[in-house]
Structure 1
Amino acid sequence: MVAHNLGYPRIGSQRELKKACELYWSGKTTYKNLLQAGRNIRQESWTLQKQAGIDLIPSNDFSFYDQVLDMSLMVGAVPERYHEVIISKNNSELDLYFAMARGYQKDGLDITAMEMTKWFDTNYHYIVPEFHKDQPFRLFATKVIDEYYEALQLGIKTKPVLIGPVSYLLLGKEKESGFEGIDLIKNLVPVYLEILKKLDRLNVEWIQFDEPFLALDLTEKQKRGFTYAYSEIRREFPHLKTIVASYFEGLRDNIKLATTLPVCALHLDLVRAPEQLDEVLAYVPDKMTLSLGVVDGRNIWKNDFSKSLAHIEKALSKLGTDRIMIAPSCSLIHTPCDLDLEKNESQLSREMKTWMAFAKQKLTEVSTIKGLAVPATRPEFSTRLAENLWAIESRRTSSLIHNPTVKERVSRITDADASRTNPFAKRKAKQKSELKLPLFPTTTIGSFPQTTEVRSWRAKWKKHELTDSDYDRLLKEETEKAIRWQEEIGIDVLVHGEFERNDMVEYFGEQLSGYTFSSNGWVQSYGSRCVKPPIIFGDVSRPNPMTVSWSSYAQSLTDRYVKGMLTGPVTILQWSFVRDDQPRSVTTNQIALAIRDEVSDLEKAGIKIIQIDEPAIREGLPLRKSDWKTYLDWAVKAFRISASGVKDETQIHTHMCYSEFNDIIDSIGAMDADVITIECSRSQMELLDAFAEFKYPNDIGPGVYDIHSPRVPSKDEMVYLINKARSVVPADQLWINPDCGLKTRHWDETRKALIEMVKAAHELRSPVEENAV
């Protein structure tokens, strides 16, 4: 029996990668220093996994930005617009890589970034490969080989990890019509064979191919792509041990396909889909090994050893010890690094810590489960088993978890709680009369840059180095500056900037019952962007108003409307570590009622426009279409519960990130927000097509510039994008706004971009208003 790991967090236990990358991007550190920071993180990770008892340690799971972008660079899938970056003076391969991720605006070049979207149903973002018909591939970068050799030099023989060829193609986007990405499989596989040839020369033993699409709905052509790719790999390298890893769902109707692939081992996610084990065991051929993903790679709760051992014992009876591998359900990049770093018991109590395991602790769980599963070594681990049983029971029976009042309120929810008083057409007429906004009203999504100074105030305040009154004064000054500046440049609907907020979910979690927090529970969202998800451990309720005082203060400073800014119930759920002892729909309804109370209080305080962000609605969609309806029904209802307790004149906005909307446009319409803002600039407004085809009746703010890139777009660029939008959506339905919140940007680029945005709106307004006259 083998204990192995599919991937480890690459940010560093103290977010060393974030700091190193951002210093490099700002020109404050050297290329050499950045490379050394990467080496330090990798070597610490490999050593830690070896010490934890992991037999097969992954390599090439480290990335300076994103593993899909790594693969694009490796196989030479570099869009033509970046070729000038390659030949520009003093640019390294890594500069090209970052240009693809972040855009490039220097050396006389102005190049947009590649599109970014969510990695399946997680909050991790990947850079979307771009494909053209008959596109060639070539071995362009050798990162996987270099890192395998690097580990060898340390005396650690690793298991290189590659995104499988079929999943890589299916993760991409066709940039012209007339073909499908999978059509490129015969062009791509030779590059994989070249990579494997180089690894084979270094005496690699195991190769891991991540093929998460095996857990999704596949066409017959895509299925043939799997068979072709792995047949070619086996034909060329019959002696290599290959493992194909599926995760995030069960194989279901792809079980026969997966178990007939000519590979040595097949990984199953038994956390998300434990029921698949019986059917896979019925199909698994002789000599194929099963990797059992029994430790949750996406949540922070301690593994229940008794449940994991039950799965393993079932597999043992069919396969025997030699054909079983023990692993987390998926890569551990979705979990924080180390629970041992949580020293603040006032933030994360000792009792709650006994219920949890972060990435480092999950490695120990994997090796412990292996030890318990083998009769010869089981006695050595009996103490750990007893401790585990105690921790599981302690959590199940804790009085901290259950609140009868919250449960009773959820049980009384009716359909009326999820409906506005009148349909949108009547609401829009009343809102137009009440708000008197111009055509193409301008706004932003909510947050403004959180400068080093603002973050330092928060840090000092939390350490009690700054009094409550001084902290409050500083934040009010920053808020007033933001309001005055927005007035000055002419934005129509203002925001207060959210300087008091650490994170759009954590801020609310800190004020909701049923939540707890870590001090160092950081996980990667994209690139250098890390988030620290709050932890839902019990029933959720809102003891007191959460945002009313700041929204009211900002509104008191101006005659223009200031949006109340809230995070929606589905996003609060998705971007938290969620309790796993009740259905997610129940937890979402608890949060929805808390947000409903906040919306009601904002309205009573005179806030006439309230935004309830739901960027994670699409992200939470189940991977199998047959499961979509159940999820969308409760997710949409939860949003409507949160938004429906207000008068017609109160305008409800929502915001969504990086979503392909075509398949769920009916449900987005059913949310019935008065205004929806969406990210559109990276896709050049392509995402708006779904709204046009659906004839979406409510108002839309298609983002006109990409806030995830430091480049500043011109007024003409934004006018061009809005004119594209006008070709499919009536002008009186359009708002003008950035793609997303501006928290992670710098003020210099923010000021320039928003000034250009307002100029674009004014230019667009003039001819429309003249024609109306």
Structure 2
Amino acid sequence: MKKILLPTSTAGSLPKPTWLAEPEKLWSPWKLDNEILTEGKQDALRIALLEQDLAGIDIVSDGEQTRQHFVTTFIEHLSGVDFEKRETVRIRDRYDASVPTVVSAVERRKPVFVEDAKFLRKLTNKPIKWALPGPMTMIDTLYDAHYKSRQKLAWEFATILNQEAKELEAAGVDIIQFDEPAFNVFFDEVNDWGIATLERAIEGLKCETAVHICYGYGIQANTDWKKTLGSEWRQYEESFPKLQKSNIDIISLECQNSHVPMDLIELIRGKKVMVGAIDVATNTIETPEQVANVLRKALQFVDADKLYPSTNCGMAPLSREVARGKLEALSAGTKIVRGEL
């Protein structure tokens, strides 16, 4: 990877074109099907890459254009999960959702995102980051009628994720990111086995690895939950000490417009830090100076060569126009701080 000071990236998803899926909505159904859907997803991926290039993003992704949802699309490709047999569960102790059921041993019988990653690799010479759901967040998006143990199912998913990650690495992916918003909720499980299952998922990888821990998409249930967290959000304090000792290379966190005390980053000193400098829960586009201000504060606790400016979370629920403006602001604000350094 070409060495760039403060390389910018997104946390994950970008809005899909209106001809592919209903805009500004999670779990939005596809508007195309069969071969036309495959072609449409690839065209959307090309557009997502172009949007990132035009905005000056340094580490690019697929914008999750080929998946409906950051967790369930991966699970759809596994055996042992029945999507017709659904149960209502509480997602991250925040909101109820109808989810598929684990009915037998879970297995990955074929690659899930590897062909998409190869397609993206052919389109760009820039470093690629690919997001996968983390084991704990996967089990929190299912009803388990087979293992009847969150820990046991998480270990099974960790093994499956490791298989996928190794093939993504072979396809040319430079950074593999595991999305674990559940780490901000289930603190005892995170420390008991959550980080251990994450380390199982990255076992044997030579590419860089990241874990993304945020306060969720800008949907109403998450916005309402944040209002209950008080004037300081200290959830990261629970997981950062163990993550600092883990083999994960990069830790991604939420900073813009949040009540996360910036000095918590000191707990992961020595790690690379993906600092969320773009708020995905508002349509207001940040000014470059607002982005720069978040990065300056973060630089008190992380060395410049380890700081990766990013977004707080994915931007799938936003309009394409707003997301485009936010990407441009991220690049412009980063450019200001690069100049100061």
Q: Match of 1:436?
A: 2
Measured against aligned partners, the alpha-carbon deviations of 1:382-417 in whole angstroms (never above 9, x if no partner) come to xxxxxxxxxxxxxxxxxxxxxxxxxxxxxxxxxxxx
Q: What's the offset of the Cα at 1:733?
A: 1.6
Q: Match of 1:651?
A: 208
User: Partner letter of residue 666 of structure 1?
Assistant: P
Q: Match of 2:155?
A: 589
Kindly indicate whether structure 1 or structure 2 has the higher relative contact order, using CA contacts under 8 Å at least 6 residues apart.
2
The 10-residue stretch of structure 1 (439-448 or 479-488) with the greater mean CA deviation from structure 2: 479-488
- The aligned runs of 1:246-325 (5 Å cut-off) are none
Q: Distance in 2 between matches of 1:646 and 1:498?
A: 22
Q: What's the offset of the Cα at 1:521?
A: 6.4
Q: Match of 2:320?
A: 747
Q: Match of 2:249?
A: 674
Q: Distance in 1 between matches of 2:166 and 2:39?
A: 27
Q: Helix, strand or coil for the counterpart of 2:172? A: coil
Measured against aligned partners, the alpha-carbon deviations of 1:318-349 in whole angstroms (never above 9, x if no partner) come to xxxxxxxxxxxxxxxxxxxxxxxxxxxxxxxx
Q: What's the offset of the Cα at 1:522?
A: 7.3
Q: Distance in 1 between matches of 2:113 and 2:281?
A: 26
CA gap 1:728/1:703 in 2 versus in 1, 3 angstroms = same
Q: What's the offset of the Cα at 1:632?
A: 1.7
- The aligned runs of 1:110-129 (5 Å cut-off) are none
Q: Distance in 2 between matches of 1:520 and 1:536?
A: 10
Q: Match of 2:301?
A: 728
Q: Match of 1:517?
A: 83
CA gap 1:604/1:556 in 2 versus in 1, 3 angstroms = same
User: Partner letter of residue 473 of structure 1?
Assistant: E
2:140 to 564, 571, 574: 574
Q: Match of 2:74?
A: 508
Q: Distance in 1 between matches of 2:325 and 2:75?
A: 33
Measured against aligned partners, the alpha-carbon deviations of 1:590-610 in whole angstroms (never above 9, x if no partner) come to 000000000111111122221
Q: Is the 8 A contact 1:610 1:652 kept in 2?
A: yes
User: Partner letter of residue 748 of structure 1?
Assistant: E
Q: Distance in 1 between matches of 2:86 and 2:149?
A: 27
- The aligned runs of 1:336-415 (5 Å cut-off) are none
CA gap 1:452/1:485 in 2 versus in 1, 3 angstroms = closer
User: Partner letter of residue 761 of structure 1?
Assistant: T
TM-score (norm 1): 0.39
Q: Is the 8 A contact 1:705 1:713 kept in 2?
A: yes
CA gap 1:439/1:592 in 2 versus in 1, 3 angstroms = same
Number of aligned positions between the proteins: 316
User: Partner letter of residue 633 of structure 1?
Assistant: D
Q: What's the offset of the Cα at 1:531?
A: 5.4
Q: Match of 1:602?
A: 168
Q: Is the 8 A contact 2:100 2:143 kept in 1?
A: yes
Q: What's the offset of the Cα at 1:460?
A: 4.5
User: Partner letter of residue 209 of structure 2?
Assistant: I
Identity over aligned residues, as a percent? 25
Q: Distance in 2 between matches of 1:451 and 1:608?
A: 26
- The aligned runs of 1:449-598 (5 Å cut-off) are 449-455=15-21, 458-461=29-32, 466=33, 468-518=34-84, 532-579=98-145, 581-598=147-164
Measured against aligned partners, the alpha-carbon deviations of 1:4-32 in whole angstroms (never above 9, x if no partner) come to xxxxxxxxxxxxxxxxxxxxxxxxxxxxx
CA gap 1:760/1:471 in 2 versus in 1, 3 angstroms = same
Measured against aligned partners, the alpha-carbon deviations of 1:163-196 in whole angstroms (never above 9, x if no partner) come to xxxxxxxxxxxxxxxxxxxxxxxxxxxxxxxxxx
Look at both structures and tell me which one has the larger radius of gyration over its CA atoms.
1
Q: Distance in 2 between matches of 1:657 and 1:508?
A: 20
CA gap 1:695/1:596 in 2 versus in 1, 3 angstroms = closer
User: Partner letter of residue 736 of structure 1?
Assistant: P
Measured against aligned partners, the alpha-carbon deviations of 1:717-760 in whole angstroms (never above 9, x if no partner) come to 11111111112222222110110011111111111111011001
